[in-house]
Homo-oligomer: A and B are copies of this chain.
Amino acid sequence: MGEPARAETPRDRPSKAKRRILDAAARLFHERGFARCTVRELADAVGILSGSLFHHFRSKDEILFAVMEEVIAEMDAALAEALARAADTESRLRVLIRTQLQFIHGPRGHAAAVLVYEWDALSPEGQARLLEGRARYFRQWEEVLDEARQAGLTDTDPTVLRQLIHGAVVWTVNWFDPQGPMSVEDLEQAVLALILK
């Protein structure tokens, strides 16, 4: 008793249909770009007609928003958890890079790429609603980078360093192939070498 079983889709646990839409959207928005991907294309990928999408989302824009909102929360949580396990500064630095690389080149890579590369396609209102979560994620980065500077591992300003490293890491979407000869661990090492002196 208590509350009925219909606490189905409070906000954080999408229904099966929504799940399929979000996954397909992440992939297509990444592969083809948000503006070039039509609702018909997306519906085709899900296996429904285009109009049916609007039973689950009010607009195409809201689908983009949902993809981004979800992956921000995931990345923030994953980073917080991984950092909590890391003891010394250098391993925390490593965790920073590793978490981001694993997201971008792992199963949630499409969503992560969409977050980065389609930010400007999101409506200003959508951007505003996501700012807080994004800022929280970046704050974790800067805390670690600041810690690294105090430990003498680097002497670049944490904010500048975060932006530079973030750029280098997200750009790997465009050239790095996890199936190729270079492993994600190798890549992680190369990025880490950029920070450490």
Which A residues are within 8 Å of any B CB, using their own CB? 33, 35-36, 120-121, 155-157, 160-161, 163-172, 174-176, 182, 187, 190-191, 193-195, 197
Contact = CB atoms under 8 A, between A and B. Distances in A.
Nearest to A120: B33
Contacts of A191: 164
Name the 6 nearest CB pairs between A and B, nearest first.
Answer: A167-B171, A35-B35, A168-B168, A164-B168, A167-B168, A194-B194
A163 B166 CA distance: 13
A interface, by DSSP: helix, strand, loop or mixed? helix
A33 B171 CA distance: 18
B163 A167 contact: no
When all copies of this chain in the complex are counted, the total is 2
Contact of A190 (B160, B171, B174): B160
A164 B166 CA distance: 10
25 contacts: A33-B121, A35-B36, A155-B193, A156-B190, A156-B193, A157-B190, A160-B187, A161-B190, A163-B171, A163-B176, A164-B168, A164-B171, A164-B172, A164-B190, A164-B191, A164-B194, A165-B168, A166-B171, A167-B168, A167-B169, A167-B171, A167-B172, A168-B168, A170-B171, A171-B171
Contacts of A160: 182, 187, 190
Contacts of A120: 33
Contacts of A161: 190
A195 B191 CA distance: 10
A39 to B, nearest CB: 15
Nearest to A189: B156
A57 to B, nearest CB: 20
